[in-house]
Amino acid sequence: MEFAYCPQVDVLKDKQNTLFSTHIPYGLLPESVAKSGCKMVYIWRDPKDTFISMWTFQQKERPYLDLGSLNSLEECFDMFCRGFSGYVLI
């Protein structure tokens, strides 16, 4: 799996990382992850909780993310309700 902000990390080959968490929906995970044979715990959350978690993460990562003109909670919530998470259609 590739990471935009840390391309040298390969979570599938790094045996020291035994736990990996993501906000990526299961259906969007790379096929290599789904077929890796690893055990997965998939947690489905209330969309409101998902949005607040995403918002909190984006605020922490804001210096490293290009979020364009999205500045307010209301703008981000509107985009989330239309199916966008950052630049990704969810």
Note whether 20 and 11 are within 8 A (CB). Answer: yes
Where residue 8 falls among pLDDT bands split at 50, 70, 90? low
Cβ burial, residue 47 (10 Å; 0-12/13-18/19+): exposed
Describe the crossing of helices 73-81 and 47-61 by its angle, rounded to 10 degrees.
130
Where residue 24 falls among pLDDT bands split at 50, 70, 90? confident
DSSP 2: -
Cβ burial, residue 76 (10 Å; 0-12/13-18/19+): buried
- Position with higher pLDDT, 86 vs 59: 59
Catalytic annotation, residues: 23
Task: Specify the 3-state DSSP secondary structure of 25.
Answer: coil
